[in-house]
């Protein structure tokens, strides 16, 4: 079947592969200071957020990303009270974090205020955590913002875009050093580290650089499946300032008060750190 460009939104990856979804209506289109923002209504994926022509959020599968960047890290830091999220203007990661009553302070640092306002309007269920009174939204460059802090946060989550445009600074060695310095003793940070299949060079170099900063045993990648992202297999890398067994949650993560989870569980955490052989070779 040939795709009618007027009915399909397509993300082309490096002019080699593409992922398309048929849409019934374009709900929003704007050009912010930093990027093109579009929202589509689709049958297969629900509403879709696109930034500069790339899938960022879909109502169908965003729960995988947001649960897997949040809960594996929170499970490793007992008694966490303060969290910083860099990027993630859609608010989905914040919505997962506000499920923890122990958290006293949650800061979202997003460079593009228009992404935040757009998602509040068109993705109210995903961004609903932004209304929590513990949440503070700072519209600023994340790499510059985190430099201000020393031993300030129990958890830092880097909910970044690809290493292009405003997201490029979030893949530099200096940024990783700033994140480590901003963590409290016993704290942990998790970084979005791309697809080991489609972005193998970026994935491999990012993990190796994180290990230069945190140490080989203190920076471990883990995997999940996100259908709307290139290659579907997606990675995060959790880093700590002290040694942890990342595959075994060290604090008591009660699924009783973490309601509505669709992907994450303690068994998923254990399995996510079991890496295929080709992924191990990429970071060797």
From the list 52, 159, 242, 267, the catalytic residue is 159
Closest-CA residue to 66 (of 34, 32, 108): 108
Place of tokens 């929202």: 39
Beta bridge partners of residue 84, listed in sequence order: 107, 156
> Helix, strand, or coil here: 127?
coil
Q: Is 154 a catalytic residue?
A: no
Cα 281 to Cα 80: distance, rounded to the nearest angstrom: 33
Cα(92)–Cα(126) distance, rounded to whole angstroms?
5
Backbone phi and psi for residue 136, each to the nearest 5 degrees, phi listed first: -120, 125
Place of tokens 């914040």: 94
Identify whether the C-beta of residue 122 lies closer than 8 Å to the C-beta of residue 56: no
Tell the burial category of 65 from Cβ atoms under 10 Å away from its Cβ (0-12, 13-18, 19+): buried
Alpha carbon distance 121, 128 (integer Å):
10
d(CA 161, CA 51): 9
Report how far apart, in Å, the C-alpha atoms of 90 and of each of 37, 178, 220 are. 12, 24, 26
Q: Active-site residues: which are they?
A: 159
């Amino acid at each position: 079947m040939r795709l009618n460009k007027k009915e399909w939104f397509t993300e082309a990856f490096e002019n080699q592969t593409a992922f398309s979804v048929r849409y019934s209506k374009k709900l929003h289109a704007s050009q912010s200071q930093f990027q093109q923002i579009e929202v589509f209504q689709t049958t297969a994926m629900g509403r879709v957020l696109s930034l500069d022509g790339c899938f960022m959020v879909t109502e169908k599968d965003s729960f995988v990303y947001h649960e897997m960047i949040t809960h594996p890290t929170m499970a490793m830091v007992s008694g966490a009270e303060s969290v910083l999220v860099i990027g993630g203007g859609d608010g989905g990661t914040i919505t997962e974090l506000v499920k923890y009553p122990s958290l006293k302070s949650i800061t979202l640092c997003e460079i593009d205020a228009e992404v935040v306002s757009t998602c509040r309007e068109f993705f109210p269920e995903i961004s609903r955590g932004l209304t929590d009174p513990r949440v503070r939204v700072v519209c600023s460059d994340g790499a510059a913002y985190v430099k201000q802090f020393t031993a300030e946060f129990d958890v830092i989550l880097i909910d970044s875009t690809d290493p292009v445009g405003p997201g490029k600074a979030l893949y530099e060695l200096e940024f990783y050093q700033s994140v480590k310095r901003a963590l409290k003793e016993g704290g942990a940070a998790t970084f979005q580290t791309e697809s080991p299949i489609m972005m193998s060079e970026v994935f491999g170099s990012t993990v190796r650089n994180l290990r230069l900063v945190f140490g080989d045993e203190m920076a471990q990648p883990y995997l999940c499946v996100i259908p709307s992202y290139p290659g579907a297999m997606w990675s995060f890398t959790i880093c700590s300032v002290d040694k942890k067994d990342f595959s075994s949650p060290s604090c008591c993560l009660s699924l009783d008060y973490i309601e509505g989870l669709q992907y994450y569980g303690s068994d998923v955490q254990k399995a996510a750190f079991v890496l295929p052989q080709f992924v191990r070779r990429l970071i060797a």
